[in-house]
A and B are shown apart, each in its own frame.
Chain A
Amino acid sequence: MDHALVRNFCIVAHIDHGKSTLADRILEVCGAITDREAVDQVLDSMDLERERGITIKASAVHLQYQADDGQTYHLNLIDTPGHVDFSYEVSRSLKACEGALLLVDASQGVEAQTVANAYLAIDSDLDIIPVVNKIDIKNVERSFALGQLHEMFGFSEEEVLHASARTGEGVHEILEAVVARVRPPEGSAEAPLRALIFDSEYNSYRGVIAYVRVMDGRIRKGDTVRMMATGRQFEVDEVGVLAPAMTPTEELVAGAVGYLCAGIKDARECRVGDTITSARHPAAEPLPGYREPKAMVFAGLYPTESAEFASLKDALDKLALNDAALHYEAETSGALGFGFRCGFLGLLHMEIVQERLEREYDMDLVATAPSVVYRVYLKNGQRVEVENPAHYPDEGSIERAEEPYIRATIMCPEEAVGPCMQLSQARRAVFKDMVHTAGGRVTLTYSIPLAEILLEYYDQLKSVSRGYASLDYEFDGYKPAKLAKVNLMINYESVDALAFLTHREFAEVRARTIVDRLKQLLPRQLFEIRIQAAIGGRVIAAGRISQLRKNVIAKCYGGDITRKRKLLEKQKAGKKRMKQVGSVDVPQEAFMSLLKI
Chain B
Amino acid sequence: MLVGAAPFGVIFGTLAIGSGLPVWLTLGLSLLVFAGSSQFVAVSLIGSGTALPVIWLTTFVVNLRHALYSATLLPYARELPARWRWALSFWLTDETFAVVENQLRLHSNARDGAWYWLGSSLAMYCNWQLWTVVGVLLGQSVPVLATLGLDFAMVATFAAIVALQLRQRPVLFAALVAGGVALLARGLPYKLGLMLAALAGVAAGVLAERLAERVNRPTDPQASP
Q: Do A and B bind each other?
A: no
Residues of A within 8 A of B (CB): none
Residues of B within 8 A of A (CB): none
